[in-house]
């Protein structure tokens, strides 16, 4: 089975300038995702799609193949699906084989092991599903929402009938770390998820993403504390 890892990394970032290549635990941020994918023997090949020459140069240095992403699908409002479709077409034109599954990890979610990719691929094989998303269990999170001018409302439990957390049905949050999907799912539905879907449950500490400056410090502490920087 051919599993191609496609890492999307735009050059522009409004929150943190050059976010995808900031120094994180001694390496450019994108390097961690590349090395994790290369460390999973079930992954056939690793590609980085970017509109940035600087990112592509770094990607090559860490062992990834590269794809120049067209400007028309590189804007910050352009969905990831467009870039994945472009990348799949590019890869299959360069190869004798078609892709069975795309592994699509997020650069800003570096808190994971190569084994997470391997285990997810094994799960998708065992379950015979069409797509998979990484999640974290949130059984003891009590979620509330509030609209302007209205009383707050509990979302995932009834505060008038507060039960021990052990009695609350397990729920999961999409942590954005990575997705696995058949190319045909993306082609048919223009969506990374479709057909028979599987949840890959990750450790809760791996759910943190780097979206702002504060996240860099927090994620760095977790990265080192759980030895995730030992690639």
User: What span, in angstroms and rounded, lies between the C-alpha atoms of 205 and 73?
Assistant: 33
Q: Which residue has the tokens 């970032």?
A: 13
List active site positions.
162
How much is the pTM? 0.93
Per-residue HEC secondary structure of 146-192 comes to CCCCCCCEECCCCHHHCCCHHHCCCCEEEEEEEEEECHHHHHHHCCC
Tokens of 12: 């522009």
- Cβ neighbours for 197, distance < 8 A, ≥ 6 positions apart: 129, 130, 131, 132, 133
Q: Where are the domains of the chain?
A: 3-134+174-225
**For every one of its 231 residues, what pLDDT tens digit does the chain have, with 9 covering 90 and above?**
999 999 999 987 777 889 999 999 999 999 999 999 999 999 999 999 999 999 999 999 999 999 999 988 887 778 999 999 999 999 999 888 899 999 999 999 999 999 999 999 999 999 999 999 999 998 777 788 999 889 999 887 788 888 776 777 788 999 999 999 999 999 999 999 999 999 999 999 999 999 999 999 999 999 999 999 987
**Structural contact between residues 111 and 228, judged by C-beta atoms closer than 8 angstroms:** yes
Q: Does domain 3-134+174-225 have CATH number 3.90.550.10?
A: yes
């Amino acid at each position: 089975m051919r599993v191609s890892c496609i890492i999307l990394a735009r050059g522009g970032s409004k929150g943190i300038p050059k976010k995808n290549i900031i120094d994180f635990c001694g390496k450019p941020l994108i390097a961690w995702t590349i090395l994790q994918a290369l460390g999973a023997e079930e992954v056939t090949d690793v590609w980085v799609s970017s509109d940035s020459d600087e990112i592509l140069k770094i990607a090559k240095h860490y062992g990834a193949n590269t794809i120049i992403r067209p400007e028309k699908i590189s804007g910050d409002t352009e969905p990831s699906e467009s870039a994945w479709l472009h990348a799949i077409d590019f890869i299959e034109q360069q190869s004798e084989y078609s892709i069975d599954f795309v592994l699509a990890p997020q650069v800003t979610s570096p808190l994971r092991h190569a084994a997470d990719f391997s285990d997810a691929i094994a799960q998708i094989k065992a379950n015979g599903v069409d797509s998979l998303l990484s999640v974290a269990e949130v059984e003891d999170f009590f979620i509330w929402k509030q609209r302007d001018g209205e009383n707050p409302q509990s979302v995932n439990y009834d505060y008038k009938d507060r039960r021990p957390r052990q009695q609350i049905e397990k729920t999961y949050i999409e942590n954005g770390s990575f997705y696995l999907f058949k190319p045909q799912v993306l082609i048919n539905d223009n969506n990374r998820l479709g057909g028979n879907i599987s949840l890959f449950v990750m450790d809760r500490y791996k759910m943190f993403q780097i979206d702002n400056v504060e996240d860099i410090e927090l994620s760095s502490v977790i990265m080192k504390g759980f030895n995730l920087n030992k690639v």
